[in-house]
Chain A
Amino acid sequence: MSENTNFLINIRKRFGNFTLDIDCKLQEKVTTILGASGSGKTTLLNCISGTLSPDEGRIVFGNQTYFDSESKINVPPDKRHLGYIFQEGYLFPHLTVEKNIRYGQSRLQRKNRNSISQVVEILEISQLLERYPNQLSGGQRQRVAIARALAMEPQLLLMDEPLASLDGGLKSRIIPYLHHIKNNFEIPIIYVTHAIIEAMALADEAFLLDDGKITASGEPNQILASPSALPIAHLTGVENIYSLPVASSDQQRGITELEIGKQHLVIPYIDVEIGKSVPVAIRAEDIIISLEPNLPISARNILEGIVDEVEDQTMLSILVEGHSFLVKITHEARQQLEISKGKNVYCVIKANAINLLWQDS
């Protein structure tokens, strides 16, 4: 967001036992709100878009007040001029792709044939304009939905898990389009997701939403380094997140080594300068516990550590060079290896099981 457009959100909304209680100020171009399902993400976006009214509070974008319970202001959604991209797309089934895209345009824009050419080009949907939504694939549909929101030239873009309904391969194909939008349009974006990797791909600033409340905020890598990283990780199904400096990088061997104390963590090659910290995530299920360091296996990482805690029967916390690794094993494995607090063990991790969360462009 430019220097003088702050977005102030201070609202409360109750649904039975659930209360959304938000007080935040968004200042960056792309703000990501990260939270598990049921944390209130969509409710928050609906309050911002005006399709839902908060019980009380204020929503102020720049010098426009969208909602103010005290002075009884509640601007209807059609007057807020916000582009809203929904998880399921919600294209109008009885209109062609072109008519869908032009739906939000003013009369003047609609007369101008070229008024959608930029979004059509960036999202690569010029071949689809005559089709109907049910003749599109999932990825195409979501691109059209994004185009439709952009074509109305909104002053703010709301994205509600736009990739959630797509499978893995399609997701990675849409992400570049989102980068294009971030770089080509001067529109601030609020991006809501439960997927940490998606969240960090675009964000300038991130907020963590947990049970209707914001529990952490900051730059994405700050959030990852803060004590609130652990709850984020649990929320989003990735238990281990570390920010580690690059020790060496070898494009020919296809690997990059990160420093973790005196040991090294090998990950697939990334183009990052040496000494710079990168955030990585490892799922607790992807770590194997071994009692021996010298194993004839393909996994690139065999890290020495000490069992710090046996959280419950199947979740271990292993201390490796001061970093705690959460590892999920079976009850039987734990008994056979006689794992107990203080025991020396080795964490075996495939390089490809280590996900890069986010990378400076």
Chain B
Amino acid sequence: MRITSAEVAALLLSIKVSLFSLVVMLPPGLLVGWLLAKREFRGKSILNTFVMLPLVLPPVVSGYLLLLLLGKNGPIGRLLSNVFNIEVIFTPFAVVIAISVISFPLLVQGIMTGMSSVPSELENAARTLGASPLKVFFTITFPLAYRGVIGGIILGFSKSLGEFGATIMVAGNIPGKTQTVALAIFEAVHLGQDISAFRLVLISTVLAFISIWITERITISKNRIY
């Protein structure tokens, strides 16, 4: 009844790609969240629609569109293969791209909600006290949007851990290379390996539980005073 090496590989891959995606997507997530929450500009609703699109599209559709873009004959895929000699499709990197696209709207939404809740009067007050827009962001907007940002991170990260549809389209289901926990569960059920599937389901549930619990702890202790 011991956990198999394939299961461990799937688990580690899921965690690695999700963390990597989070680190890469957090800066643009903060920027886009801030733009959508705090700025008025032309094309704002187009940006909003574009960012949120993967939330409403079936993941398989997003995955298929990515496949078209990144595939050998796609505009980005051809560029990468001709100039850098890199193949993206069916690699762990493709997993990162897939889960990043799918989880980005959730990350941005959390950040946006957090930042919208910071009164612009406080930011203006900080400006009159001599703070540059960048200082205002790091000393006022970001600390006060903390809860929303953490919420977005956890939601996005959990979504990444469990992403299935887009991943299987662009990365395939290659054990040890692109097989994440979700894909491994799918395969186990498909092959009638119920015990293996059950172990992975249990592990995913525990992971989700821990991440939510950690968030709760962080947000409660950090925000006790105000």
What residues of chain A have their CB less than 8 Å away from a CB belonging to chain B?
49-51, 76-84, 86, 88, 90, 92-94, 103-104, 106, 132-134, 148-149, 152
Contact = CB atoms under 8 A, between A and B. Distances in A.
B140 interface: yes
B129 A104 contact: yes
A91 B128 CA distance: 13
A103 B129 contact: yes
B121 A81 contact: no
B128 A49 contact: yes
The list of the 5 closest CB pairs from A to B, nearest first, reads A104-B129, A77-B127, A93-B226, A84-B128, A90-B125
Given A88-B121, A92-B122, A78 B128 contact: yes
Nearest to B128: A84
B129 A94 contact: no
Interface of B: 119, 121-122, 124-132, 139-140, 143-144, 225-226
B128 A94 contact: no
Given A50-B128, A133-B226, 10 more contacts: A77-B124, A77-B127, A78-B131, A78-B132, A81-B130, A92-B125, A94-B143, A104-B129, A132-B226, A134-B226
Nearest to A102: B129
Contacts of B119: 90
A92 B128 contact: no
Given A93-B144, A103-B131, A84 B125 contact: yes
A51 B128 contact: yes
A94 B225 contact: yes
B143 to A, nearest CB: 5
Contact of A104 (B124, B130, B144, B226): B130
Contacts of B121: 86, 88, 90
A134 B139 CA distance: 18
Interface centre among B121, B130, B132 (most CB of A within 10 A): B130
B127 A94 contact: no
B127 A76 contact: yes
Contacts of A132: 225-226
A335 to B, nearest CB: 51
26 contacts: A49-B128, A50-B128, A51-B127, A76-B127, A77-B124, A77-B128, A78-B129, A78-B130, A78-B131, A78-B132, A80-B128, A81-B130, A84-B125, A86-B125, A90-B122, A92-B140, A93-B226, A94-B144, A94-B226, A103-B126, A103-B129, A104-B129, A104-B130, A132-B226, A134-B226, A152-B130
B128 A83 contact: yes
Nearest to B131: A78
Contacts of A81: 130
A76 B139 CA distance: 18
A8 to B, nearest CB: 20
Contacts of A148: 129
Contacts of A50: 127-128
A240 B32 CA distance: 56
Interface centre among A51, A76, A88 (most CB of B within 10 A): A51
Contacts of B122: 90, 92
Nearest to B226: A93
Nearest to B132: A78
Given A78-B131, A78-B132, A86-B121, A92 B126 contact: yes
Interface centre among A79, A82, A104, A106 (most CB of B within 10 A): A104
B128 A82 contact: yes
Nearest to B120: A51
Contacts of B128: 49-51, 77-78, 80, 82-84, 104
A152 B139 CA distance: 17
Contacts of B226: 93-94, 132-134
Nearest to A86: B125
A96 to B, nearest CB: 9
Contacts of B132: 78
Contacts of A103: 126, 129, 131, 139
A88 B124 CA distance: 13
B144 A51 contact: no
Nearest to B146: A94
A192 to B, nearest CB: 15
B142 to A, nearest CB: 10
A82 B129 CA distance: 8
Nearest to B125: A90
A80 B144 CA distance: 25
A106 B130 CA distance: 9
A80 B131 CA distance: 11
Contacts of B126: 92, 103
Contacts of B225: 94, 132, 134
A191 to B, nearest CB: 16
Nearest to A135: B225
Contacts of A90: 119, 121-122, 125
Contacts of A104: 128-131
B58 to A, nearest CB: 41
A132 B224 CA distance: 11
B136 to A, nearest CB: 8
B148 to A, nearest CB: 14
Contacts of A80: 128
Contacts of B124: 49, 51, 77
